[in-house]
Amino acid sequence: MSTTPVNVQIPSDSQAPVIADFVEHALRAAYVDRAHLGSLPITEWDVPGVYILLTGDGSGRVYVGQARRLRSRLSQHNSKEKLPWRRAVAIKRDTTDGFNTAEIGYLEGRVSAEVSVLDSLTVIQGQVSGDETLPKHMMLSLDSFVKSILAALRLAGIDTTRSNPEQDPEDEAPSNASGGRMTFNAKFADLVSSGLLRGGETLYLRQGAVEETGTVTADGEIVVRGVAYKSPSAAAANALHLQSSNGWITWHVGSLAGVTLDVLRRQWLEQQDQEYVRSRARREPRVRDRGVGGDA
């Protein structure tokens, strides 16, 4: 089970915002009540970032946005109400340079798309397309931030369970090892961690008149229309608007004529099988050239 390291600062002043620092990605989140918005320091928070407005009426309605000046934008929401929000989660980069406008545009789209598939929330406003003008290596870096942002929502007491859990039996296919050898289960992330598939690679699928693309993340997920999936089959099913689809044979690497993920999975399984055989051979005691018994 992976965890997200975070340091939480709870001020003695009950009206001051709670601050959470997500160490891995140098992100800082401020949790501020609408009634106490004035306690959010302008000097620290009038910077580029993304934010989520949360209601307290049990409806699960949220607003996802981005702003060049977070503190000022939240004040605008306070005076021009589009949502009866009670709390805001504001997120900025805790570095000298911070985010630029293209980066927060991309993050707004990714976060809005991810939140839209959560079982407990409904996005009533926000972009889902994101800013696609960034180079791929920057998108890869920002994709990894999304998990910390969703973790920030969990700290706010939000249930981040998806409405479409990823449970696809074909996503864990055992190898065809025989002769007493160990069997292995392959996951999509294994293809990325082994180097068989690179982060930033584009995947393609076509079924009937429907065509879709997905992007491989550095963490071993597939992003389709702003939502990341660990399972190729879940990604394919959502891309095709189907209940189920075997993504291992549906997704092609690099183009529609490229190899399928199943080809790469078989390569990975073969590598694991060969490594197991080599490892077992190294562990077995060597008896060659050893004397057996007494004098000949």
Task: Look at residue 177 and tell me whether its pLDDT is greater than 50.
Answer: no
- Asked if residue 73 lies in contact with residue 52, where contact means CB atoms within 8 angstroms, the answer is no
Per-residue pLDDT, 210: 92
Angle, CA of 202, 236 and 216, to the nearest 5°: 30
Terminal-to-terminal C-alpha distance of the chain:
59
Cβ-Cβ contacts under 8 Å for 52 (sequence gap 6 or more) = 62, 63, 64, 65, 88, 89, 111, 115, 153
pTM, rounded to two decimals: 0.85
Share of the chain above pLDDT 90, in %: 66
Q: Where are the domains of the chain?
A: 6-155, 169-283
When pLDDT is averaged across residues 258-285 and rounded to a whole number, the result is 87
pLDDT digits (tens, 9 = 90+) for 29-83: 999 999 999 999 999 999 999 999 999 888 999 999 999 999 999 999 988 777 8
Task: Look at residue 124 and tell me whether its pLDDT is greater than 90.
Answer: no
Q: How far is CA 16 from the centre of its chain?
A: 30
